[in-house]
């Protein structure tokens, strides 16, 4: 990983008391002006601060309880993003853990709110640990989370594993370090529990691509079909489904359905095509897609294969068909991890969100894992939604009990049926 040349970071308060940070970076530029070689001067305004953090910061600043100290830091970066590329967003979450370094506690005259000013980065894991015990909370993290979030979680897994954990836990609070549909699934399974999502903006392009009303119209056009929905969809779409699946069990789920019934599959068209091939069942597909898995560059993959002729290519089925055609093994995130463990190969080119590389490298330090650049030339295919969760936001939601997932009970009960069917069928 390259280290960006020096990044000068200062923090100042903007109008309305909103805290904002300005970054002047050498190779990460504000709405980046690419100069051809990927270098140049620019500024990045930090605006991805949650409403709650705005409020906490604003109150503390207005009450004179915090002061601002400009500091200089270095931020790891492995991309040269083009204008508007997601690579820039990868920088944003990385700023969060260091923001407290710049915020000086000057006066602590209001104890009731002073506790909401975050501890130093060094204290964050300890503070999160103490809060987790105090509140009887369990922290679940998806493999696509930042490494420091994975490292503090009680359990790390893919969607199916996390769903099972959410259903089984006896904790009072579930902190779901993943995206919104995952936290919703936990709430559907455990309505009596408080389910927190560190950043409510952590959505998913697949869920966004499948609005409930449009899906209802699509279903109405296919009244005789069994509706199988990938878990990456909203609760309102789950409520219209007969069966939920994950990428781990989708083929198995479809194979178990009555042969005489036609099947409608939503929302991921790439996963749907792969399931169709594997199961031999014809599926009517909803045209959704994952912006991360559709972004890998075939050309870059071929170059990597030339550089590492002994490497095996392992791919998530949300990737497009030309990339899947080049893969030695296709499977869900957990299956990719298990395959890397059991394979005799020592080098793997990994076609899924690079957060999984952290677990792969931890479990298999003697093996090499390579991620694949995106089609826009940026070498960071990090999911911009997943990476919105940070240690800072995790700590903050444990302190305040917000943001919590809320759900209409009628929708929840309807959405529970196809999830329960999946859990029973995938035993
Ligand atoms: S990686 Fe793709 S499918 Fe997963 S949360 Fe991000 S956008 Fe959604």
Name the residue ranges covered by the structural domains of the chain.
1-118, 124-205+388-409, 211-290, 298-371
Residues near 427 by beta carbon (within 8 Å), at least 6 away in sequence: none
CA distance 18 to 45: 12
CA distance 375 to 320: 12
Just give the CATH number of 298-371.
3.40.50.10800
- Ligand 1 within 6 A of CB of 146: no
394: left (phi over 0), alpha (psi -120 to 50) or beta: alpha
CA distance 356 to 333: 7
Whose Cα sits closest to atom 4 in ligand 1?
204
From first to last of the 427 residues of the chain, give the pLDDT tens digit: 233 333 333 333 332 223 333 222 222 322 233 333 333 222 333 333 444 444 555 555 555 554 444 333 333 343 433 333 333 344 444 444 444 444 333 323 233 333 344 555 457 889 999 999 999 999 999 999 999 999 999 999 998 889 889 889 999 999 999 999 999 999 999 999 999 999 999 999 999 999 999 999 999 999 999 999 999 999 999 999 999 999 999 999 999 999 999 999 999 999 999 999 999 999 999 999 999 999 898 888 999 999 999 999 999 999 999 999 999 999 999 999 999 999 999 999 999 999 999 999 999 999 999 999 776 655 457 898 998 999 989 998 999 899 999 999 999 999 999 999 999 998 7
Give which of 333, 416, 408 is closest to 167, Cα–Cα: 416
- Which pLDDT belongs to residue 85? 35
- Which pLDDT belongs to residue 410? 98
- Looking at CATH, the fold of the domain delimited by 211-290 is given as Rossmann fold (3.40.50)
- Which pLDDT belongs to residue 80? 39
- Which run of H or E residues covers position 262? none
Cα–ligand 1 centroid distance for 204 (angstroms): 5
- Return the DSSP state at 96: G
| pTM for the full predicted model | 0.74
- Which pLDDT belongs to residue 59? 56
- Ligand 1 within 6 A of CB of 356: no
Mutate to test the pocket of ligand 1, among 203, 386, 388, 389 (most ligand atoms within 8 A of CB): 386
Backbone angles phi, psi at 3, to 5 degrees: -105, 125
- Ligand 1 within 6 A of CB of 232: yes
- Ligand 1 within 6 A of CB of 353: yes
Q: Beta 155-157 vs 103-105: how paired, if at all?
A: unpaired
Mutate to test the pocket of ligand 1, among 93, 197, 291 (most ligand atoms within 8 A of CB): 291
The atom number, within ligand 1, closest to the CA of 383 reads 6
Whose Cα sits closest to atom 6 in ligand 1?
383
Residue 278, Cβ neighbours under 10 Å: how many? 15
The atom number, within ligand 1, closest to the CA of 290 reads 2
- Ligand 1 within 6 A of CB of 326: no
- Ligand 1 within 6 A of CB of 290: yes
The pLDDT tens digits of the residues spanning 349-383 come to 999 999 999 999 999 999 999 999 776 655 457 89
Just give the CATH number of 124-205+388-409.
3.40.50.10800
Cα–ligand 1 centroid distance for 180 (angstroms): 10
**Alpha-carbon radius of gyration of the chain:** 22
168, two tokens: 């089984």
Same fold, 211-290 and 298-371: yes
As beta bridge partners, residue 260 has none
CB distance 420 to 241 below 8 Å: no
- Ligand 1 within 6 A of CB of 382: no
């Amino acid at each position: 990983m390259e280290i960006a040349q020096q990044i000068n970071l200062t923090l100042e308060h903007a109008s309305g008391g909103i805290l904002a940070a300005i970054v002047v970076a050498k190779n990460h530029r504000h709405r980046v002006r690419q100069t051809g070689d990927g270098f140049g001067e620019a500024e990045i305004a930090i605006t991805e601060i949650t409403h709650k953090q705005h409020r906490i910061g604003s109150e503390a600043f207005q009450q004179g309880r915090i002061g601002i100290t400009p500091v200089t830091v270095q931020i790891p970066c492995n991309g040269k993003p083009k204008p508007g590329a997601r690579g820039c967003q990868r920088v944003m979450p990385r700023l969060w853990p260091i923001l407290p370094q710049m915020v000086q506690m000057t006066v602590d005259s209001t104890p009731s709110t002073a506790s909401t000013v975050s501890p130093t980065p060094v204290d964050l894991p300890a503070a999160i640990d103490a809060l987790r015990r105090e509140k009887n909370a369990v922290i679940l993290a998806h493999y696509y989370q930042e490494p420091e979030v994975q490292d503090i979680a009680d359990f790390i897994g893919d969607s199916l594993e996390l769903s099972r954990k959410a259903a089984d836990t006896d904790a009072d609070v579930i902190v779901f370090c993943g995206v919104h549909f995952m936290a919703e699934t936990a709430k559907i399974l455990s309505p009596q529990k408080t389910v927190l999502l560190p950043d409510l903006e952590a959505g998913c392009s697949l869920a966004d691509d499948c609005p409930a009303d449009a899906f209802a119209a699509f279903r109405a056009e296919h009244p005789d079909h069994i509706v199988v929905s990938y878990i990456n969809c909203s609760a309102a779409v789950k409520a219209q489904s007969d069966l939920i699946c994950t990428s781990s069990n989708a083929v198995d789920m479809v194979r178990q359905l009555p042969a005489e019934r036609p099947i409608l599959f939503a929302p991921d068209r790439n996963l749907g095509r792969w399931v169709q091939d594997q199961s031999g069942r014809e599926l009517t597909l909803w045209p959704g897609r994952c912006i991360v898995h559709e972004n890998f560059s075939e050309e870059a993959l071929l170059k990597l294969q030339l550089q590492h002729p002994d490497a095996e290519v392992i791919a998530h089925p949300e990737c497009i068909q030309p990339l899947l055609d080049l893969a030695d093994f296709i499977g869900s995130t957990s299956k990719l991890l298990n395959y890397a463990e059991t394979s005799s190969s020592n080098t793997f080119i990994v076609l899924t969100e690079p957060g999984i590389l952290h677990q792969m490298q931890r479990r298999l330090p003697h093996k090499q894992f390579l991620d694949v650049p995106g089609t826009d030339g940026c070498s960071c295919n990090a999911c911009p939604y997943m990476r919105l969760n940070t240690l800072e936001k995790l700590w903050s939601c444990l302190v305040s009990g917000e943001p919590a997932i809320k759900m209409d009970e009628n929708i929840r009960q309807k959405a529970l049926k196809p999830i329960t069917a999946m859990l029973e069928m995938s035993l």
